[in-house]
Amino acid sequence: GHMSGENWDVPWRRDRCPYTDPDLLRAQLRLVAELAGRYGRHPAVAAWDLANEHDNFVPLPSASAGWLWAHLLTREIQHLARQPVVLGTHITSFTCRDAFRYPDLGQIHDLLCVHPYPMYSELCPGRPSLPPSTLFPYFCLKLARALGGRPVLLEEFGLSTAVAGEEEVKAYFQTALYSALAAGCSGALAWCFADFKRTHRKPYATVPHEIGFGLTRDGRPKGAGAAMADFAAALSYLPLS
């Protein structure tokens, strides 16, 4: 699949479409059945994510093919697991015709996801610590909720210190987190826990800015990590159900 600007494939796929090829669908159903059957009631598993930005890995031949693929895998998991199923959707679900559509996913999943990185959107020019970048997660959360009719998880968000200063990244996190809360977000997961060090290996050899998204560096919190900790502490004082 896709991660950090690189795609990871297996040679036996031979360019077949994972959304429509019968043999690949059968293999995927077997994989999720094995995993859900073994870990479907494990307390350490919070949810099942079908894929990360899967249309970056292989473009959808059609939105309907994406709906069918998500429907098949989700139903297979739901037969065996009690945790919710989600799909790691990103900006293309708002901007591309042949994408995973939020109204379709709202028919399948109880929880929707967004990955609103301002640095990857033409809607967010200017400094990342100022609007519109800081309000971009709010915008995407509200739009996904309106389109899909389901609660929305801020499944991925963040800003790399490879492209912005640490204090600027902290300021971005501070505004983005509170605006996400105001948008009715179901939760927020920052990408990612720690900066990466193996810069000579893929994917970081080809996308060097990806190494700086961590909340920590060498075991110590960065500005983003401090902002997340402060926000979590503030939440403990709010009357949230």
CA 138 – CA 146 distance, rounded (Å): 12
User: Per residue of the chain (241 residues), what is the pLDDT tens digit?
Assistant: 888 878 889 899 999 999 999 999 999 999 999 999 999 999 999 999 999 999 999 999 999 999 999 999 999 999 999 999 999 999 999 999 999 999 999 999 999 999 999 988 999 999 998 999 999 999 999 999 999 999 999 999 999 999 899 999 999 999 999 999 999 999 999 999 999 887 788 777 778 788 899 999 999 999 999 999 999 999 988 887 6
The structure's pTM equals: 0.92
In angstroms, the CA 226 to CA 8 distance is: 33
Which residue matches tokens 């995993």? 35
pLDDT of residue 64: 97
Position 241 scores a pLDDT of: 61
157: β partners? 190
DSSP per-residue letters across the chain: -EETTEE---GGGTT--TTT-HHHHHHHHHHHHHHHHHHTT-TT---EEEEESHHHHS--S-HHHHHHHHHHHHHHHHTT--S-EEEE--THHHH-SSS--HHHHHHH-SSEEE---GGG-TT--S-TTSTTGGGHHHHHHHHHHHHH-S-EEEEEE---TTTS-HHHHHHHHHHHHHHHHHTT-S-EEES-SB----TTSTTTTT-GGGGG--SEETTEE-HHHHHHHHHHHHHTTS---
User: What confidence score (pLDDT) does residue 12 get?
Assistant: 92
CA–centroid distance for 114 within its chain? 6
pLDDT at 205: 78
Give yes or no for a cis peptide into 132 (omega within 30° of 0).
yes
Tell me, what's the pLDDT at 240? Answer: 73
Instruction: Tell me what pLDDT residue 202 has.
Output: 78
- Predicted pLDDT at 229: 97
pLDDT value for 180: 96
